[in-house]
Structure 1
């Protein structure tokens, strides 16, 4: 064999290896087992054009052209589909009276939770209000434990005692029922990060209605004074319970509500917009510049709370228009398909897997026992000193009479 021919064959082999390394991808966590993922080859990385965001008191803004890998795309898509499936199942369980009490669904806002989680560290802290199901899943909660908690079962993530609004992991601090009450708690978490000299921050999420609470303004003032590493995230889903933002807020530019605190406003229905803005906000906080406000313009598909008549304050046509033209999952699917990062068949397999996972978690929850009445006084006090509370001693053994 001539030297030239051998050299050409070696070059061809190197190029083949190079292109194979580009299109060969590892299978994201949770997606193993789908046939298409094992056999098909797609674009490994693509540059995506996203919308420009609004900035306040900042010299820079997130880039409008971002890189997306196939691995990340499929993982984001799977997580958003799982949250969507989880919330649809929660709606069904509420209507069947298996979920009791208050139940606030996250359907339509999936890009916010998944986009934020994609841009911060697993060790960062996150705290939010009562619309928390999406966040508890992205911050380490298992589907089994989440559904069991929703159903009030002993195997739930809060042992069946917290329900829809009060779930926790080692880095997720709830789920809070009092409007805006999580914001000063988030500042406390951020203070702990700074005091202990950790390279962590706190993402503190609240809604457009909570933005008008006095404790939010007070917390922002303190966070700015002390330069706390906290991202104030306002999920502006356009309605404070049943009142539109225009009817209850004189300044609807929520990203400017921090006064001297810098802010960003982005399309909260686009996961890549959320991810890039959160990355910039995260870098801002970790560099020691103090807090930042991030407004995510999003939309919830169902009522403020399950059981209400949402048609009293917004029309069916309004909701349908958002579903058709701005749905976060459909928009992201268009990015994936148009950039040849996956096939439609592959995405349908991922969607079906998310539904199967939620259904399996539901079966687990339904087979789990409810907490016994004897456990009613558990986890209330940190010591064993008897103490009467309104005439009831919590160490009195309680027995079920049913």
Structure 2
């Protein structure tokens, strides 16, 4: 249990530092600029989820997961596919969305390194049970983002902090990143962050080198057990299953920024992005716990019960603290520059609170090999989230709001409805997951079955 806690707490710390870095950038720049960056990064991350095709989970659970050959095969396929997707998106779609080609290109480079390369490197290290190196990589990722913020807005943020604490007044040349450097702060941030994460990915590949495991894999390849350069058809089939699961998870939070971009103004997109960054940092805890226990859930009910105790014992108090404290802190820190931030934070705090129960229910279904029912629950939630978001976007535009401000329908603010959709989806998934939980006799039979 202590090893699982340490593994998860390092992931939580790294994601928390990255989210804090994003909040610092949000304070330093205008909401419209931050909204454009948030849209570009979320589209790039979505491409990364598609490109890795569940390869990180395949490396984690298959017997070949520790070999360098398997890592190189999956990374080669994933990065190659990602390059094709990013080029097609940049040429055909990004201009239609009004995204800066420079910002999208470096967001794509950052997401390619983090979402494809580092995800797979960390899976290999975890399979090798080198959790110390996994924890090192998670800290380096957050440090890379922090370095990018320091380069883009560090001195300006320092003067803003001094002004906040002492009441002193500084000129715009000292309190804005553009005034300090004469550079666009968002562009500087994404460029430095992308290059730093590529360096971290290359370092991770070096740290994951295991001569003994690679020698065993090479011997197996000579014996004909793994002769193809590409992953096998069975690996691709398993990867598609994990990919589907990852896409469903993506729909609940990160894709919500994309849906906000289709429905509302850039300033409101920035508010949603700030909130999802905070809440997604808290999602890391149950998610990393699940990844830690995934190879171990077949060992018996004891590991499953251990997982459920840790997840519910830590996730729920954190969600309650978020609901009470985060809205006030975020509004104070960002000086009220982001519209409807408090209301958005409260809605997503409720999403996280319900999701803590949903994650536990899904884990029990997965441990009992009831994956079809788990995927049915996730599909229903994703359909509600994506369908609801697109419907509200269409309604908002049909009301003639050329400015992008939220409209109203029969006196109802569409932005309120927009925030209600993920809460409703989580409640529906929780109800379905509870309904699908087997009885004690069925549990015992499912656990005993080969």
TM category (shorter chain) comes to under 0.3
Larger Rg: 1 or 2?
Answer: 1
Q: Higher helix share goes to which structure?
A: 2
TM-score (ref. length: structure 2): 0.23
Q: Higher strand share goes to which structure?
A: 1
